[in-house]
Chains A and B, each alone.
Chain A
């Protein structure tokens, strides 16, 4: 059982150039204080404010929210890595937290040695690690390289080994942060499968992810955090829906313009995304086979000849594999000659995708698609929630999935 009461975590933000406090600065500040002019260059920031919830044994809870909503802080407080500013948490049972894959892995040590080290760091006893050693090795698929220092491992092998150790923990409460965002699709599926096994055996699981599909399939309860407080607490499905609505509400704002996790030379930048219907009304969801108009705000550093630009809008599945792409240079595009800013419109009369939640990645380059020509490339720019519909007018709604759909008939 986990009981969280009035949990608040504050951080003091120091507005100073240096990343750390030097004793020298403290002394000078104290000295200034004596002479009356107290320097007011600190500010407190509430990463979590008055969070309350209770989780029963065996519940699988997904914690979702935008970046900076307080998810990671919550997990860190629950894992006792940082201490709360106010409030009280009661945890019944042994807690293991997995906030990073391969914490404490030492590059000079062999795979075998790191299994023991990492296991101990995650709270396993030597006896437990020995008992599960073979299982861990088998799961990680790195048998052949067990005695090679992990610094010679490929990143995939490294992650597999690290997850394998973590997956064989047997605590009563398991706290997991976004670890499934690593490895190839096949290994991710294996991980999700393993997580299901773990939670199926009556253990309490707290799981933070941006992967809504994983939350939906793994969790039976969802908690949505927004700016440090609980915004929604209910079914996983409900939390995911609410989250998507929240995400869409924020569109049209300059959210996208502020994103820094993008690449490209910046000559052209996407600044916003919004979804519209035929009447130019904001859409939150679109039906399978339905009409969708995507509008992208953009800005350029100079007047750009848009007809030389190549744009690509890609619908991705949960694992960031493309399900559908619209590339401007192979389509009929109508661009006015020179523009420094404005709106790029992609009109899709029939969105031939099955019901699911897709993430959009955007790409813009000038003249060709070589690395130097890329102006802006951004993944997870937005999400599009496609709802299953009676696409074939057969009276039945189509199944969900991450693949296409098309008008067709069967006969015999």
Chain B
């Protein structure tokens, strides 16, 4: 029963991870709160979560059809849905977690808990939206009478990669956002810019197989961790019909993991000053 806590100016890592485990209840409650609050006093409630991805998919599908973007022989709607699924998750998880510390500043200045709980719990909320969009994907597949291959079983792994990417970048920006408030303006920009450089409206293979583009551009393109995530999703969902560029995918995975490690490090180093400067 007698648990001993020692407070010194230095970080205490052993205590931190133990506390993170002890406070798992709070993690769950914060996620629960965000979900509850989201649908209170809304007119169509849960319908928003369906409408948003559905409209996004419709627009990308239309744009792709209009400009004749190569579809590699896969039904275009499937291609677009498979990319919207991880992209929407990432953009929501990243921007919510990056802003989470600021929007919970009243908690940060009044109670102790491992601060990582706040950005982490927002990601859980985004997983709910992911599940809803996934439902749309299933409907699309049924409508197209498209049966996926064994590759679909690997989808959780790619979802994990998407979580790692969102968590890493979210933690990094959340910590910096407390200290330098100009990051607040950077968040929507990153999300918007990310959409242009990630293969949501087009496919990665049209980049990798292009003869016009020099090698170094292809390399820089593959540094975007979301490229790996989206390509992975497409590969899983289309049963391997969309070929996965293994080298580029490997680069994206390495970048995602590095991002998570950096995010945790930066977050841990600035965490103890949050309450002082927020």
Contact = CB atoms under 8 A, between A and B. Distances in A.
The size bracket of the interface on A is: 35 or more
Given A106-B37, A149-B40, A120 B5 contact: no
B7 A91 contact: yes
Contact of B110 (A81, A83, A94): A81
Interface in B18-33: 23, 25-26, 28-30, 32-33
Contact of A109 (B7, B8, B36, B179): B36
A78 B180 CA distance: 27
A121 B3 contact: no
Contacts of A26: 180
A83 B5 contact: no
**Interface hub of A97, A106, A121, A149 (most chain B Cβ within 10 A):** A121
B29 A91 contact: no
A56 B256 CA distance: 49
B175 to A, nearest CB: 13
A20 B276 CA distance: 11
Contacts of B4: 90-92
A95 B15 CA distance: 14
B7 A24 contact: no
A172 B3 CA distance: 10
A123 B29 CA distance: 11
**Interface hub of B2, B37, B111 (most chain A Cβ within 10 A):** B111
Contacts of A265: none
Given A84-B8, A85-B9, A122 B111 contact: yes
B107 to A, nearest CB: 5
A95 B5 contact: yes
Given A121-B29, A126-B25, A81 B180 contact: no
Interface in B253-278: 272-273, 275-277
B68 interface: no
B6 interface: yes
Interface string A79-112: 1111111111111111101011001101011000
Given A92-B4, A113-B36, A22 B273 contact: no
Nearest to A173: B5
A408 interface: no
Contacts of B2: 92-93, 172
B181 A21 contact: yes
A355 B110 CA distance: 37
A125 interface: yes
Interface residues of B, number: 39
A116 interface: yes
Contacts, number: 118
Contacts of B9: 83-87
Contacts of A78: 7
Interface string A55-91: 0000000000000000000001111111111111111
A23 interface: yes
B43 interface: no
Contacts of B180: 20-23, 26
Contacts of B40: 108-109, 149
Contacts of B33: 106, 109, 113, 117
B276 A121 contact: no
Interface in A10-26: 11, 20-24, 26
Contacts of B8: 84, 87-89
Contact of B276 (A22, A82, A88, A116): A82
Nearest to A93: B2
Rank and list the top 10 A-B pairs by shortest CB-CB distance, nearest first. Answer: A120-B29, A83-B272, A80-B112, A89-B7, A23-B180, A103-B110, A91-B5, A108-B40, A20-B181, A82-B275
Interface of A: 11, 20-24, 26, 76-95, 97, 99-100, 103-104, 106, 108-109, 113, 116-117, 120-126, 149, 172
Given A120-B26, A149-B40, 9 more contacts: A20-B180, A23-B183, A81-B110, A88-B6, A89-B6, A92-B4, A103-B106, A103-B111, A123-B23
22 contacts: A11-B276, A20-B180, A20-B277, A78-B7, A79-B111, A81-B110, A82-B276, A83-B273, A85-B9, A91-B6, A93-B1, A104-B107, A104-B110, A106-B33, A109-B33, A109-B36, A113-B33, A120-B29, A120-B30, A122-B111, A123-B26, A172-B2
